[in-house]
């Protein structure tokens, strides 16, 4: 009986350690993209399945847990990944119009660090469009 309880507890601890590592890996992957020299190029290199998993994590956490990202990082990662999904699903002309709409929506907000970062990312997306990447 004691061995069974010990085995169950050991299995539970192992599962918790694995879940924590999984969350930590997702957190690090999101933060590596957000704080890269060029986040637009960094997120373009992520495959669709991984990007979907990372987006879900940034918005809702994983396995019913809260995400380990702070509110600002979660918002910025969601914005960046949604824009990347739009880029992948749109033609160059449609995406250019989408970026223009996003820039106009930013114009109504007060300047803060989030708006400044997003405005810079829009510039990078537009530059990539012009260069044909």
The whole-number mean pLDDT for each consecutive block of 10 residues of the chain, a chain of 133 residues, reads 42 39 78 93 94 89 63 91 95 94 81 84 92 76
| Domain ranges, residue 43 | 2-131
Rounded to two decimals, the pTM is 0.75
Q: State the Cα angle at 72 between 29 and 91, rounded to 5°.
A: 65
Q: What's the full length of the chain, in residues?
A: 133
Cα separations (Å) of 62 from 7, 20, 27, 53, 71?
26, 10, 10, 9, 15
User: Which residues 6+ apart lie within 8 Å of 24 measured at CB?
Assistant: 68
Q: Based on the structure, what is the number of domains in the chain?
A: 1
Structure confidence at residue 70 (pLDDT): 84
**Structure token digits, residue 55:** 């987006």
Residues 22, 65: contact at Cβ < 8 Å? Answer: no
Structure confidence at residue 89 (pLDDT): 95
User: Of 109, 105, 108, whose CA–CA distance to 83 is shortest?
Assistant: 105
């Amino acid at each position: 009986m004691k061995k069974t309880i010990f085995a169950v507890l050991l299995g539970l601890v192992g599962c918790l350690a694995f879940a924590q590592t999984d969350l930590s890996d997702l957190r690090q992957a999101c933060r590596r993209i957000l704080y890269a020299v060029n986040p637009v190029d960094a997120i373009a290199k992520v495959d669709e399945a991984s990007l979907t998993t990372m987006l879900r994590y940034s918005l809702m956490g994983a396995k019913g847990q809260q995400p380990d990202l702070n509110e600002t990082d979660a918002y910025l990662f969601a914005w960046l990944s949604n824009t990347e999904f739009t880029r992948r699903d749109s033609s160059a002309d449609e995406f250019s119009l989408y970026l223009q709409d996003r820039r106009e929506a930013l114009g109504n907000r007060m300047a803060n660090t989030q708006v400044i970062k997003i405005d810079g990312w829009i510039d990078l997306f537009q530059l990539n469009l012009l260069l044909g990447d």
